[in-house]
Amino acid sequence: MKKVSLAAIFPALLILVVGCQSQQKQEPVPSLTPITEKVETQIIPETATRTFRGSWFDIEYPENFTARPTALTTDEAYFLSPDGTVEFFVYSPLWSGDPESYLKISPTEELISEKTDQSGDRIVHWVTIKAKDSSYHRSFVSIKEQVGTGSDLHHVFGIKYQDDASYQKYAAEYLAFKESLQQYAD
């Protein structure tokens, strides 16, 4: 078993859970308050994984997921679950920039929740979006950091899920996916 500290990942997990809504029952989204309590360490079950090698990064994903693109000269990639109910996303360029379209809300989507936290040279932006036809939700965290004079890093992790049950089924794998990112420099 691999131990992962929830203190580092709890804000992103909180926004993902807050954004989850059942298709049958619509409930108001609770207010997003920062967590100040100490969070205990959670044990994440080990899942067999494969390594996806992008242009400037490696990331581990569940071996039964399908990766796209298959070409490895990319800054972003998608990973679809075998049952098609969940898709992971990563954007990890050499330096800064933005994913092709992942941060945009399409005309068929609506914003459910959004929160930004800035601490020094680090800006973390959490967003949850819902398809207008309620066929899916997607949540992402965008992390921008200034690492030197004029140099910025930008990483985005996302999860698109059919419903709360699908999200819950793959939540541990998603957290392990995010923790596994290895960024390389030129």
The closest alpha carbon to 80, from 96, 92, 93, 65, belongs to: 65
Domain assignment of residue 17, yes or no: yes
Domain assignment of residue 179, yes or no: yes
Q: Is the pTM of this model over 0.75?
A: no
Alpha helix ranges (H) inside the chain: 6-19, 164-179
Please determine, for residue 167, whether its predicted confidence score (pLDDT) is greater than 70.
yes
Instruction: State which residues form the domain around 56.
Output: 2-22+33-183
Residue 32 or 186, more confident: 186
Tokens 């330096």 appear where? 95
Q: Which of 35-39, 51-55, 101-105, 150-154 has the lowest mean pLDDT?
A: 35-39
Domain assignment of residue 102, yes or no: yes
Domain assignment of residue 166, yes or no: yes
Residue 28 or 72, more confident: 72
Q: What is the mean pLDDT of the chain?
A: 77
Please determine, for residue 152, whether its predicted confidence score (pLDDT) is greater than 90.
no
Work out the average pLDDT over 79-106: 90
CB neighbour class for 93 (10 Å; exposed up to 12, middle 13-18, buried from 19)? buried
Looking at residue 143, the DSSP 8-state letter turns out to be E
| Residue 173 binned pLDDT confidence (cut-offs 50, 70, 90) | very high
**What pLDDT does 98 receive?**
80
Domain assignment of residue 28, yes or no: no
Domain assignment of residue 161, yes or no: yes
In tens, the pLDDT along 6-28 reads 334 434 433 343 343 333 333 33
Q: Around 77, how many Cα atoms within 13 Å sit in the side-chain half-sphere?
A: 28
- Number of separate domains in the chain: 1
**What pLDDT does 20 receive?**
39
Domain assignment of residue 157, yes or no: yes
| Residue 59 binned pLDDT confidence (cut-offs 50, 70, 90) | very high
Q: In this structure, are residues 80 and 150 in contact, taking their beta carbons and an 8 Å threshold?
A: no
Domain assignment of residue 81, yes or no: yes
**What pLDDT does 54 receive?**
84
Q: How many CB atoms lie within 10 A of CB 172?
A: 17
At residue 170, the 3 state secondary structure works out as helix
**CATH code of the domain covering residue 138:** 2.60.120.1690
Please determine, for residue 182, whether its predicted confidence score (pLDDT) is greater than 70.
yes
